[in-house]
C-alpha cells in the first residue's frame, strides 16, 4: 500500500509542536502591540508577476508557481513585502502616517533542504511606510530585538548586523564604478561568504578583472566592524555624500544606544542582502555562536511601492522566521514545555449520573474553566487514572449517593484529599480552589 508522506520541507504540527509555534507567535504579537504596529493579512496565492524582477533572481528561482484553471500565472507567496506594498500603496492617501503594520503568515520557497531552511515557513513581518528618515530604522531594529529578547534571549545570544546599500553605492562610485557595475558588485559581495573570491568571477567576465587596489578596497570595506573604522575610511576618501550618510549612521546608533540596545548592534558592511529592492540601511539578525542561518533580515526599500505602479512611498521593514528562532530557543533551553491540562476532570459513576454531571460541566465551561470527562462509561479505577494523568488539579466525582444528597465529591489531585461540596455552590468552590484559597 502506498504511504503518503509530507512533501520535503513541509511540516506537520502535532499539538505539542503547535503549542511551541503558538508560543513564538504570541511573543511576536505582544512585541508588535507594545510598539504600536497594527496587524494585517493577505492572500497566500498571488499573481506571479508580483515577484518577477521585484524580489530578485534568487527568490524567483525558488517560486512555487503554476497556471491556474483560468490560465492565470500564479505563485504561492515567497515573501510578504511586494504584497504589503500593494495593500498600503492602494490606500496610501487614506492611511495615517507613519504606517506601522505587521503580520504573521506562512511563506513558500523551493529551497535546498538544510538546517534552518524549509520550503514552508512562517515569518513575522513588520514594516513602516511614509517615514524617509532613519527614525524608522531605529523603531524597526528595536522591534526586531524585542522579537528575540521577548523569549529571554540576550545580547550574548544574538546580534543585529547593520549595513547600508547607500553607503556601498557611494563608496563604489568613489572607486569609479557606475551604477550597473555597483549593482553587480553588490550581488557578488552578497555571495563572498559562500563562494570566496569566486563570487567576483561573473563581474570579471563581463567587465574585465578588478584592479587589485579596487579589490582590496572592496574587501577592506566589507571588513569594517565599527562606527569608528567606518568614519576613518570615509574621512580618508573625503566624499560629501559619504560624510552626510555617516550622519544617518550616527543617528541610528545613538537612538538604539539611548534605548539601551546598542550592545545588540554589530556594524558589519559585509551584509548587503540578496533581495533586489533594498535601497539604504540593511540588517540581519544572527545568533552569536554563528551555527544557525540568519534569524531575520530587512532593510529600507524606498522604490518598491512606486515600482508596483503605486504612489511613491518610502518604506523600511524586516521579517523574522519561525524556524531559526525555534532552533535557537531549543538550543538555549528557552522553549518551555507545554502541557494542555484541564482545570477540572469529572469522574462519572454511570449513565444515570451523566445528566447531572453534564449540567455542571456546561456551567463550569461557560464560566471559562477547562473541563474534561470520559466520553464513554468506564470503571471508576480507569477514570481516576485518567484524571491523574490529565494534569488537572481537581477531580469532581459524580456518584449515585452524592447526587442523591445534592453534593459532589471534590478531590484535590495534588494533596489527594476529598470533601463533599453542595452542587449549588460548585462554581464558587471550584473558583476558590483553583485560586488557591
Ligand atoms: P529574507 O531574508 O528572505 O527577507 O527572510 C527573512 C527571514 O525569513 C530569514 O532571516 C529567515 O529567518 C526566514 N526565512 C527565509 N527563507 C526561509 C526558509 N526557506 N526556511 C525558513 N526560514 C526562512 C524577506 O523575506 C524580506 N521580505 C523581509 C522584509 C520585510 N524586508 C522588508 N520587509
Grid coordinates standing for 86? 500593494
With bands split at pLDDT 50, 70 and 90, how would you rate the model's confidence at 437?
low
With bands split at pLDDT 50, 70 and 90, how would you rate the model's confidence at 194?
confident
Q: Nearest 5°: phi and psi at 360?
A: -70, -40
Closest-lying ligand 1 atom to the alpha carbon of residue 325? 12
Q: Nearest 5°: phi and psi at 73?
A: -85, 115
Q: Which residues line ligand 1 (CB under 6 A)?
A: 79, 81, 109, 111, 117-118, 121, 123, 125, 127, 275, 294-298, 301, 317-321, 323-324
Q: How far is the CA of 83 from the centre of ligand 1 (A)?
A: 14
Cell 518551555, located at residue: 336
Q: Find the helix or strand (DSSP H, E) in which 249 lies.
A: helix 240-258
Q: How far is the CA of 298 from the centre of ligand 1 (A)?
A: 8
What is the C-alpha to C-alpha distance for residues 361 and 159, in angstroms, rounded to an integer?
50
Q: How far is the CA of 246 from the centre of ligand 1 (A)?
A: 27
Domains of the chain: 15-331 (3.30.930.10), 344-436 (3.40.50.800)
Q: Which of 321, 322, 324, 328 to mutate to test the pocket of ligand 1 (most atoms within 8 A of CB)?
A: 321
Please tell me the pTM assigned to this model: 0.94
Q: Nearest 5°: phi and psi at 238?
A: 65, 45
**Is the pLDDT reported for residue 86 higher than 60?**
yes
pLDDT in tens, 335-387: 999 988 999 999 999 999 999 999 999 999 999 999 999 999 999 999 999 99
Amino acid at each position: 500500500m502506498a504511504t503518503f508522506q509530507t512533501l520535503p520541507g513541509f511540516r506537520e504540527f502535532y499539538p505539542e509542536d503547535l503549542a511551541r509555534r503558538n508560543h513564538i507567535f504570541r511573543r511576536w504579537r505582544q512585541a508588535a502591540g507594545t510598539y504600536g504596529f497594527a496587524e494585517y493579512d493577505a492572500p497566500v496565492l498571488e499573481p506571479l508577476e508580483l515577484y518577477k524582477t521585484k524580489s530578485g533572481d534568487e527568490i524567483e528561482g525558488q517560486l512555487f508557481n503554476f497556471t491556474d484553471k483560468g490560465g492565470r500565472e500564479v505563485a504561492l507567496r515567497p515573501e510578504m513585502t511586494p504584497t504589503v506594498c500593494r495593500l498600503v500603496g492602494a490606500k496610501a492617501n487614506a492611511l495615517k502616517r507613519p504606517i506601522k503594520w505587521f503580520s504573521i503568515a506562512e511563506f513558500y520557497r523551493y529551497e535546498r533542504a538544510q538546517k534552518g531552511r524549509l520550503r514552508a515557513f512562517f515569518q513575522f513581518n513588520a514594516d513602516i511606510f511614509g517615514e524617509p528618515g532613519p527614525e524608522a530604522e531605529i523603531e524597526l531594529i528595536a522591534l526586531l530585538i524585542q522579537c528575540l529578547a521577548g523569549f529571554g534571549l540576550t545580547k550574548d545570544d544574538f546580534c543585529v548586523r547593520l549595513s547600508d546599500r547607500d553607503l556601498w553605492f557611494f563608496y563604489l562610485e568613489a572607486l569609479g564604478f557606475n551604477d550597473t557595475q555597483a549593482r553587480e558588485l553588490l550581488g557578488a559581495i552578497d555571495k563572498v561568504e559562500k563562494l570566496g573570491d569566486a563570487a567576483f568571477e561573473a563581474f570579471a567576465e563581463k567587465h574585465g578583472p578588478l584592479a587589485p587596489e579596487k579589490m582590496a578596497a572592496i574587501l577592506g570595506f566589507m571588513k569594517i566592524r565599527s562606527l569608528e573604522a567606518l568614519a576613518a575610511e570615509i574621512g580618508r576618501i573625503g566624499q560629501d555624500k559619504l560624510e552626510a550618510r555617516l550622519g544617518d549612521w550616527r543617528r541610528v546608533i545613538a537612538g538604539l544606544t539611548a534605548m539601551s540596545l546598542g550592545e545588540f548592534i554589530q556594524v558589519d558592511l559585509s551584509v548587503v542582502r540578496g533581495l533586489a529592492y533594498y535601497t539604504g540601511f540593511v540588517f540581519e539578525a544572527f545568533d552569536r555562536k554563528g551555527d544557525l542561518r540568519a534569524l531575520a533580515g530587512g532593510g529600507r526599500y524606498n522604490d518598491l511601492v512606486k515600482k508596483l505602479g503605486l504612489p511613491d512611498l518610502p518604506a523600511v521593514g524586516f521579517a523574522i522566521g519561525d524556524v531559526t528562532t525555534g532552533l535557537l530557543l531549543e538550543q538555549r533551553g528557552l522553549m518551555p514545555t507545554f502541557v494542555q491540562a484541564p482545570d477540572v476532570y469529572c469522574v462519572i459513576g454511570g449513565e444515570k449520573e451523566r445528566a447531572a454531571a453534564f449540567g455542571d460541566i456546561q456551567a463550569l465551561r461557560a464560566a471559562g474553566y477547562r473541563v474534561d470527562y470520559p466520553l464513554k462509561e468506564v470503571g471508576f479505577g480507569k477514570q481516576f487514572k485518567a484524571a491523574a494523568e490529565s494534569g488537572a488539579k481537581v477531580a469532581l466525582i459524580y456518584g449515585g449517593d452524592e447526587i442523591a444528597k445534592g453534593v459532589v465529591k471534590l478531590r484535590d489531585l495534588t494533596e489527594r484529599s476529598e470533601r463533599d461540596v453542595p452542587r449549588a455552590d460548585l462554581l464558587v468552590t471550584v473558583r476558590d480552589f483553583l485560586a488557591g484559597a
